[in-house]
């Protein structure tokens, strides 16, 4: 990749986009392009076309999305479907208009069927029903994969899709109502520790198993894929190991220093029983993760204390 070519990172202030921006800067890219949502609303088709026409990026990384945890997805499916469809369709149509030669679309592991064989291979896509608590978001991301494949087939542009597992790290969303499980646990245990609460209540049974990837590892994988991967099939990005939600809660409690009791609120949904990605395709390209989960959680907790508490 040309270090002096213009690279547009959509969503560059979010969890994923900010990590990709940092990684590209560290690699020596000199023409990084970003715009906040107040400067450019990607749901606005005319504004998105004008922005791409002005900057004509050689590379687009689509890290822009409406995201949220299990309750946010369950309670607001209309917004998760509509906003994400508009963001990615507008961005990809505008990139096609200026014939952007290289585009990376970032999806999510929720695109796969609820009961997919574990670990989940890329070929599991569209082989079964989705998890109903986030099916609207998943459908939007599946549509993005299809658009990448359609552009490759019709116009021959070297666009690719990557499907990350559950992510965490600096610039995450720690809101108790809309965050994903790991940042939600960090905030909950921190507040319990600060207030000497005798108990922390976990949503659901604690038995579902999840895989967690530090966002800096994802950013490193994205650069590796832009340099090494060129195929229509989406490629999984993860660590190849998972942990139960109960075990994760115990890890977070240990990092925070909380010593109270843990209980479960069984009225809250569990979601998919297990979601572990098969990352053999990515490993075969010569990439592997470098951030240990406990070290990554500790670093993320330090960031949270410095920036939120």
Q: Is the pLDDT of residue 69 over 80?
A: no
Q: Is the pLDDT of residue 241 over 90?
A: yes
Phi (first) and psi of residue 104, to 5 degrees: -115, 115
Catalytic residue list: 137
Contact (CB, 8 A) for 98 and 56: yes
Q: How far apart are CA 29 and CA 290, in angstroms?
A: 22
Contact (CB, 8 A) for 184 and 252: no
Place of tokens 């990515």: 282
Q: What is the pLDDT of residues 212-222, one digit of tens each?
A: 999 999 999 99
Q: What is the pLDDT of residues 173-209, one digit of tens each?
A: 998 778 888 999 999 999 999 999 999 999 899 999 9
Cα 37 to Cα 144, 179, 278, distances in angstroms: 20, 19, 34
Q: What is the pLDDT of residues 162-180, one digit of tens each?
A: 999 999 999 999 987 788 8
Distance of CA 68 to the CA centre of its chain: 10
Q: What is the pLDDT of residues 264-304, one digit of tens each?
A: 999 988 877 889 999 999 999 999 999 999 999 999 999 99
Beta-bridged to residue 32, according to DSSP, are 7
Contact (CB, 8 A) for 215 and 166: no
């Amino acid at each position: 990749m040309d270090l002096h070519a213009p690279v547009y990172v959509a969503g560059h202030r979010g969890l994923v986009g900010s990590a990709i921006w940092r990684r590209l800067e560290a690699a020596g890219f000199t023409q990084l392009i970003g715009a906040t949502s107040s400067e450019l609303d990607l749901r606005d088709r005319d504004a998105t076309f004008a922005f791409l026409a002005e900057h004509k990026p050689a590379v687009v990384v689509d890290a822009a999305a409406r995201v949220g945890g299990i309750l946010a997805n369950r309670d607001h499916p209309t917004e998760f479907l509509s906003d994400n469809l508009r963001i990615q369709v507008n961005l990809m149509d505008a990139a096609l208009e200026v014939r952007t030669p290289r585009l990376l679309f970032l999806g999510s592991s929720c695109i796969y069927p609820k009961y997919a064989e574990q670990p989940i291979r890329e070929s599991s896509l569209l082989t079964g029903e989705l998890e109903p608590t986030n099916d609207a978001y998943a459908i939007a991301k599946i549509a993005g994969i299809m658009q990448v494949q359609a552009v490759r087939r019709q116009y021959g542009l070297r666009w690719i899709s990557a499907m990350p597992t559950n992510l965490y790290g600096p610039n995450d969303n720690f809101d108790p109502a809309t965050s994903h499980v790991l940042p939600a646990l960090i905030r909950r245990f921190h507040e319990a520790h600060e207030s000497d609460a005798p108990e922390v209540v976990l949503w659901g049974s604690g038995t579902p198993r999840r895989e967690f990837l530090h966002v800096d590892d994802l950013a490193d994988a994205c650069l590796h894929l832009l340099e090494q991967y060129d195929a229509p099939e989406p490629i999984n990005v993860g660590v190849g190991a998972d942990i139960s939600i109960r075990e994760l809660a115990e890890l977070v409690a240990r990092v925070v220093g909380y010593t109270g009791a843990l209980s479960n609120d069984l009225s809250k949904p569990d979601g998919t029983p297990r979601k572990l990605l098969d990352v053999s395709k990515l490993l075969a390209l010569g990439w592997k993760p470098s951030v240990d989960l406990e070290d990554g959680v500790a670093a993320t907790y330090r960031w949270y204390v410095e920036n939120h508490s």
